[in-house]
Amino acid sequence: MTEARFQRMKDLPSTHLLGAGTAMCAGCGGLAAVTEVYDVLGENTVFVNAAGCMTLLSVYPFTPFRGSWLYTAMASAPAGAQGVRDALDILRAKGRITPEEDLQVVVLSGDGAAGGIGLSATSAAIDRGLDFIYLCYDNEGYGNTGQQTSSATPHGALTATDALRSGFAGWKKDLFAIWVANKPAYAATVIGGEPLDLARKLEKARSMDGPRMILALAPCPAGWGYDPEHSVEIARLAVKTGIWPLKEYADGETVHTRLPHPRQPVENYLKLQGRFAHLFEPARDEPRLKEIQDAVDAYWAPLEAEHAGG
């Protein structure tokens, strides 16, 4: 029922709550997601921001938000959210704020804090059943300091910590699966380049209580090595190639909200980005490209079989 608000692109808000004039890079895919999320959640939102790119959103005395914003260290944003939620609950219990004045508590964090430095505090917050939304903008590296490797860096990508320039040998950590294993109220993957899918999921998330996670892949012109104008194109290709599955988890079940069909080869996505250029130049690195494609194929194989069968 709540999803009825966003049927077409035309239904998306035409004015944005988030103020312009922030320090985010031109073409920032993370800022695109945060802008779209804020539009759906509305003004009664308080952000608890783990250190990262987005902490530069609010630099005193300038803020793009219409309400409060709290800055925490990388590891402790969920703890900050707990404190804010508790305070709001006390105000509610004492009758000092009405239910309409209550705020949605949102942790805003990059992948470095979400999947690495801040993971244990997050896990504990889910264990306690904290009523909050955890919004992660995942630009697949420590972007604010020049794109060093994080646990969300994808296989083969070059980062600033890769002195040998051979590409990340590890594999991107599956933060969605980690959250689902903790049995939250809701979890979803989104991307700014698919605003309608994002708006529907946020609309659903805001109507629920308990721990909820929104994981937004955030194309990053500076860190991924592409011209800012390609941000949305790259976001779309992440979905069309199946490298970024759009899905949601609720009531113990994970559902894919998009089945890319026909699924494009991953190299259509990879070749637009400087961080993967070494897979194509001076010579194609066929084994590496195959490894990446195989991993994506393996992910989709059961879903595609089920779809074909049904």
Partner 1 sequence: MYRIRFHGRGGQGMKTASRILGTAFFIEGFEVQDAQRYGAERRGAPIFAYVRADRTAIHERGVIGRPDLVVVADDTLVPVSAAGVMQGIGPDTVLLIDSAESEKTWRERLNLQGPILVLPRLIPLEPSEMAYVGTECAAAAACLTGIISLASVRQAVQQELAYMKAGVVDRNVEIASGAFARMAAHSGIVQEGGTTSHHDRTVPSWVDLPADDIGESSPAIYGAATSVAVRTGLWRSMRPVVDTSRCNRCTWICGSFCPDSAIARGSEGYPQIDLDHCKGCMICVAQCPPHAIVAIPEAEAVAQEKEGAAS
Interacting residue with partner 1 among 57, 103, 272, 292 (CB under 8 A): 57
Decide if residue 165 touches partner 1 (CB under 8 A).
yes
**Residue tagged 């993971």 (tokens):** 119
State in angstroms the smallest separation of the CB of 113 from partner 1: 16
The stretches of 140-283 forming alpha helices (DSSP H) are: 175-181, 195-206, 221-224, 231-240, 267-270
Nearer to partner 1, 28 or 296 (CB): 28
Question: One symbol per residue from 213 to 232: x for binding partner 1 (CB under 8 A), - otherwise; what is it?
Answer: --------xx----xxxxxx
Burial (CB count within 10 angstroms: exposed 0-12, middle 13-18, buried 19+), residue 239: buried
Kindly tell me which of 97 and 119 has the beta carbon lying closer to partner 1.
Answer: 97
In the window 229-288, what residues touch partner 1 (CB under 8 A)? 229-233, 277, 281-282
Q: Give the distance, in angstroms, between the CA of residue 69 and the centroid of all CA atoms in the same chain.
A: 19
SS3 of 44, please?
A: coil
Instruction: Judge whether 168 and 156 are in contact, CB under 8 Å.
Output: yes
- Contact pattern for partner 1 over residues 8 through 47, marking x by CB under 8 A: -xxxx-xxxxxxxxxxxxxxxx-xx--xx-----------
- On whether the CB atoms of residues 175 and 10 are closer than 8 A, the answer is no
Q: Does 67 bind partner 1 (CB under 8 A)?
A: yes
| Contact pattern from residue 79 through residue 118 relative to partner 1, giving x for each residue in contact according to CB under 8 A and a dash for the rest | ----------------------------------------
Taking the complex as a whole, how short is the minimal distance between the CB of residue 261 and partner 1, in angstroms? Answer: 22
Examine residue 56 and tell whether it contacts partner 1 (CB under 8 A).
Answer: yes
C-alpha to C-alpha distance for 153 and 48, rounded to whole angstroms: 24
List of residues 6+ apart from 181 with CB closer than 8 A: none
Question: How many residues at the interface with partner 1, by CB under 8 A?
Answer: 56
Distance CA 30, CA 79 (A): 23
Instruction: Give contact residues for partner 1 (rule: CB under 8 A).
Output: 9-12, 14-29, 31-32, 35-36, 53, 56-58, 60-67, 143-146, 165, 192-193, 195, 221-222, 227-233, 277, 281-282
